[in-house]
Amino acid sequence: MATFPERLQKTSRHFLLTHPMIKLLHRSFLPVAFALLFALPACAAATKKSPARKRTAAPEPKADPLEDLAAGRVPSVRAASVLVIDARRGDVLYEKNADQRRAPASTQKLLTALVIIESGNLDKPVHAEAIDAACEPVKLGLKPGDVYTRRQLLEILLVHSTNDVARCLARDNAGSVEAFATRMNRTAAALGAEDSHFVNPNGLPATGQYSTARDMARIAQAAYANRTIRSIVATKVLAFRYDDGHVTDFKNTNRVLLNYPLCNGMKTGYTEAAGKCLIASGSHEGRDVIAVVLGDTVSSIWKDAYALLAWGLAR
């Protein structure tokens, strides 16, 4: 039986070169086939190294998303909830359990970024405090007295998904995480995301915190329309300068962005309760698409998100 990388190569090449849906995009999509042949197999191999974790997963689909993509069908994915929209008009292109309440994990950092940007003055210095580090697991390692601008913290928040940075920005913005959550909920409601409730700025598990694929799509659409956020989430490698002057390169956590040329953002997420989550955006010849994928598995998230995004851009 063919391995996933071999099937990916075969279906990607067939879809990109022969399917009627893609003929008009042929010239631009051709590089994607070569990128996928070399990059995504490496991603697949990398996921094999991750220790298996027991959790309730969506049933195995009868069809494969890459085979569906090659045949011009909506990709059948393992994710619990999915919504694919036109990023400009908001038109729904495909949905699966889009109104099911789920933990969105770190994808909600897009909302955190929107609230921070609404306050303006992104060059304002932010002083880190000890309370900012009261979280796990992904952290920048903020120390009391460190000073960064809001812009610097937003960049590392969205590229590397640092949870202590989310808390630092929230405290600086509203005085406390709790007060910031109130602002998050107010902003979400203004965007039409009324079936959501946010408790913290980083998406770590919290009682009473939930959203839906539909609501996260509304939040993502607003984030996509913001030039600052668009620029940050498209960053593949961020050279971050620490307070002490040393610089470290951080690779974006979004593997679809790293391996699919038409992807231009947005945000990853993962907790045991939420499963693998990804909001991915892409653009081609005036068409902009956002795919929200919640409650997926370690082995399927990148393949599912890529297939949905490619399908949406080819419509």
- Going residue by residue through the chain, which has 315 residues, state the pLDDT in tens, using 9 for 90 and above: 555 444 544 544 444 444 444 443 333 443 344 334 334 444 444 444 434 444 444 445 455 898 988 888 999 999 999 999 999 999 999 999 999 999 999 999 999 999 999 999 999 999 999 999 999 888 999 999 999 999 999 999 999 999 999 999 999 999 999 999 999 999 999 999 999 999 999 999 999 999 999 999 999 999 999 999 999 999 999 999 999 999 999 999 999 999 999 999 999 999 999 999 999 999 999 999 999 999 999 999 999 999 999 999 998
What DSSP string describes 138-161?
S-----TT-EEEHHHHHHHHHHH-
Catalytic positions, please?
106, 109, 161
Cα gap 288→282, rounded to integer Å: 6
Q: Supply the pLDDT for residue 51.
A: 43
Helix axes 177-190, 163-174, angle to 10 degrees: 90
Burial environment of residue 28 by CB neighbours within 10 A (0 to 12, 13 to 18, 19 or more): middle
Q: How far is CA 155 from CA 8, 18, 72, 283, in A?
A: 32, 39, 37, 21
Round the CA-based radius of gyration of the chain to a whole number and report it: 19
Q: How far is CA 67 from CA 6, 7, 48, 303, in A?
A: 12, 8, 22, 11
The residue range of the domain holding 281 is: 4-314
Q: Supply the pLDDT for residue 62.
A: 55
Give the sign of the dihedral formed by CA 16, CA 282, CA 149, CA 216. Answer: negative
Closest CA to 250 of 237, 233, 265, 267: 237
CATH of residue 291:
3.40.710.10
Provide the β-strand partners of residue 297. none
**Total tally of structural domains belonging to the chain:** 1
DSSP H helical segments within the chain, as ranges?
4-18, 26-38, 40-48, 65-71, 109-118, 150-160, 163-174, 177-190, 213-224, 227-233, 255-259, 301-314
Q: Supply the pLDDT for residue 72.
A: 86
Q: Supply the pLDDT for residue 10.
A: 52
